[in-house]
Structures are given as C-alpha cells and as structure tokens.
Amino acid sequence: MSFNRRKFNRLLLAGTGAVVAAPFVRAQGAWPNKPMRVIVPYAPGGFTDVMARLVSQHLSTRLGQPVLVENKPGGGSLIGVDAIAKSQPDGYTFGVVIAAYAANMTLYQKLPYAQKDLQPVSLIGVSPLVAAVNKDLPYKTAQQMIAFAKANPGKISYGSSGNGSAVHLSTELLKMLTGTYMLHIPYRGAAPALSDLIGGHIQLFMDAASGLIQPIKTGKVQGIGVASDKRLPALPDVPTFIEQGIKGFTGSTWAGMLAPTGTPPEVIKRVSDEIAQIVKLPDVVSRFETMGVIPSGSGPQEFDRFIEEEIKKWGNVIKTAKITAD
C-alpha cells in the first residue's frame, strides 16, 4: 500500500481535533449534573418571588435539572444578596434581584458585599410603576393631583413599601419634576399601603402594576398614571405621566438574575441565552402581560449597563432628597 501524506495529515488533524474537543465536550456535558438554586432576597409571594419561580420552572425543564427557589428575606434584601455574593461560583447558585439592588448601592453607606462580587446574567423583565389615588378624592388625573399638591403643600400623603424602595424613590422623583411637596408614609410592604389607600388614610400610592391592576379594574382605587413611555396593555385606559405633560418621568421595578463573580462564563452565557428564550414563550408572555411586566431577556453586558444606569439615576434621587435607609 502506497503512503499518502496528504491523507495522513488530514487524519492526523482530525484525530488531534477529536482529542482537543473531547475535554470541551465532557466539560460542557458536566454542567448541570445536580440541582441548582435561585436565591430570592424577599419573602415568598411577592413580585421578585413570582418572577424567580416562573423563570426557574422553565430553566429546570430546559436544563434537565431541578432549579430550586430559596427565599432569604430580611435587611432590605441585603441578607439574600449577600448570600448570592458569597456562594460558590460553581454555576449552581444564582439569584434574582429587583430595583432595590441598584438603589442600595447609594442608600447604604456600607454593604456586606461589593458590586464586584456579583455577575449580571440577564434582565428578565421590567414592570413600570402605576400610580393610584383614593377613589373618593376630587382629583382623577395626574395633572389634577399635581395642581392640588401645589395649592395644598403637604396635604397629600403617599405610601411606599419602605424607605429606599422603587416606589419611594419614584414618587420622590415625581415631586422633584413637578415642584410639589407630599408627605411620605413608609410601610412594611405594599399590602398595608394599598389597604390604607383604599381606606382613605393616604391619598397616593405607586406600585408595580401587578399590585394595582385588579384594584383599579374593580374600582377600589383610581388609576392616574403609568410611569413609563408607553401604556400598559393590562391597563389601556390609564395614561402615562409623560402623556399628561410630566416629561421624563419614568419609574419601575424590575427583575434580573445575578450570579456570584467567578461563575464560569460559558455557564453565564448558557443561562442568559435560556432566559432570552424563556421570556418569549407564550405562557410566559401571557403571564407577564397580566402582571404588567415588559419582557427583556437581555444579555450580561446589556444588563450590566442597565444596572449602572439605575445606580446613577436613583443615586441622584437619594442624594438630592436626602433619603436614608432608616
């Protein structure tokens, strides 16, 4: 048999490629090979928890491993976020955070973790805030409310789900943009604030759309504005603040996935790519629409830029309004 060098070289290169590729294939196949966990820095049942469980359910199906949600509430989300930051970066621990994560970078003088300890994975979705007033008040639109607030400084009390929350900061931004003074009443969560709005103990409350859609639709409260550049499909009759002449006013809460820094980049990319597909699934799109959530599914770099913009935006509000965590 004659020696064919060209054929030999092709075989040698093919064999070398197989040797080089084999560890890569094995490494790719090795993850995930055990259950994963998603830490939520809040109690079960809230916006963050619902978003985390919805995504985790689909991740489990697509990755072929259980994806377990672990709630670690407390400390204004600091306990849970710290747990994410200090977890092993082995690709088996992730976390879902909301807008408070960005605000806390300025709100607290000292954090138990650093921003560099956490790696952005994907922005899952954004929920523009909706403002509502007590249904028995004479003002029924944002402009009417602003006119009343200017004529009666301090006569409007607004509730929030706590100091430094997206609701608190967004309402303070509204005050800045309109030159009004309204009294802040912080609550331990959105539910008691909404209850007091319905009962007439406060006049204004802004919340994620999921918390106000039904009260507005059933007439328990009066929706006066959406803090976004577009109306929400779930509340088509509630105009945006921008439509009502309050230029530049936007405010939202959002849900995004993080991982401890050092998590393998190929794992970060895989999870991010899966989330980008998950938020397009018909059942997820439908659920988001009923919650007033705008799907995102952005990649790690885009989410990183989004976080930086949020830190800057809300940092300015915190400093200007002299807001503290207490």
Please spell the DSSP secondary structure of 154-199, one letter per residue. T--EEEESSTTSHHHHHHHHHHHHHT---EEEE-SSHHHHHHHHHH
Between strands 118-134 and 252-260, the pairing is antiparallel
For residue 64, what pLDDT is reported? 96
For residue 179, what pLDDT is reported? 96
For residue 17, what pLDDT is reported? 40
pTM: 0.85
Structural domains of the chain in order of their starting residue, each with its CATH number:
34-126+253-321 (3.40.190.150), 127-226 (3.40.190.10)
- In this prediction, residue 325 has a pLDDT band, given cuts at 50, 70 and 90, of confident
Does residue 220 contact residue 198 with C-beta atoms inside 8 Å? Answer: yes
pLDDT in tens, 116-125: 999 999 999 9
The Cα 230–Cα 7 span in angstroms is: 63
Does residue 274 contact residue 91 with C-beta atoms inside 8 Å? Answer: no
- Mean pLDDT over the full length of the chain: 91
- In this prediction, residue 19 has a pLDDT band, given cuts at 50, 70 and 90, of very low
